[in-house]
Amino acid sequence: MHYFEDKVVWITGASSGIGEAMALAFAKENARLVLTSRRPEELERVKKLTGLPDSSVLILPMDVTQYDKAVPAAETIVAHFGRIDVMVHNAGVSQRSYIRDTDFEVYQKIMNVDFFSTVAITKAVLPYMTAQRSGQFIVISSVAGKIGTIMRSGYNAAKHALHGFYDALRAEGYQDNIRVTTVCPGYIRTNISVNALDQSGGKFGKMDTNQANGIPAEECASKILLAVKKNKKEIYIGGFKEVAAIYLKRFFPDLLFDQVRKNIPE
């Protein structure tokens, strides 16, 4: 029997990238999936790729920033599957613009998508996990959640916020057997830079060189599932430079700052 077999797993941002890869990884473990994004046709595509029977996959299209939809969505899942065992907060948007050029509304949008949406959905899911006295939150943060970098100020801020909130949830949920694994990917081969917001809130539309050379999303997903099975609290996934930067900040912060200010994104 697989670790996640028959577990009900809700994944936001499930139509591409890490979210899609995680859906396929959970499917290999015979989990029951709830797939959420704004694109129902892409969710249907991912559903087919899982190879799971229709009874094991619920398509739940949703804009995560419509916070009033969070509670009804959780109610729909529980009515359908009877419970929610794993909540994967993966929906997010990045940024490629300098602070001096960025409209204030862009920061609001990033915080709404990357932080406040996770809070709204967590608040909707948490009562069910508390009642069943078990649950797992998988929070997709970023190396940018540990280190502030050029042209990603809003993204950095939102991902930093995730760590504070979910560290608190991990402590508060301990008595109810509610676990939290915070994931800090570095460069993963996805379209995150292509879909990033520019200074006015439009699409950046370019693939970062480092992103194009990143590790495959499937490898990232595999590492995440393994970390959850081991009850890891926080993990870093990526190349040597990204992971090393986290430890540089901890032990040699001045050295890291000098490196960051010279690292203009390509």
d(CA 213, CA 49): 25
d(CA 212, CA 3): 32
Pairing of strands 234-237, 135-140: unpaired
End-to-end CA distance of the chain: 45
Q: Report yes or no: 152 and 204 within 8 Å, Cβ to Cβ.
A: no
DSSP state of 243: H
CA angle 52, 56, 57 (to 5 degrees): 85
Catalytic residue among 107, 128, 155, 236: 155
Q: Which residues pair with 9 in a beta bridge?
A: 33, 86
Q: What are the phi and psi torsion angles at 16 (to 5°)?
A: -165, 175
Q: Among this protein's residues, is 98 annotated catalytic? A: no
Which positions are annotated as active-site residues?
155
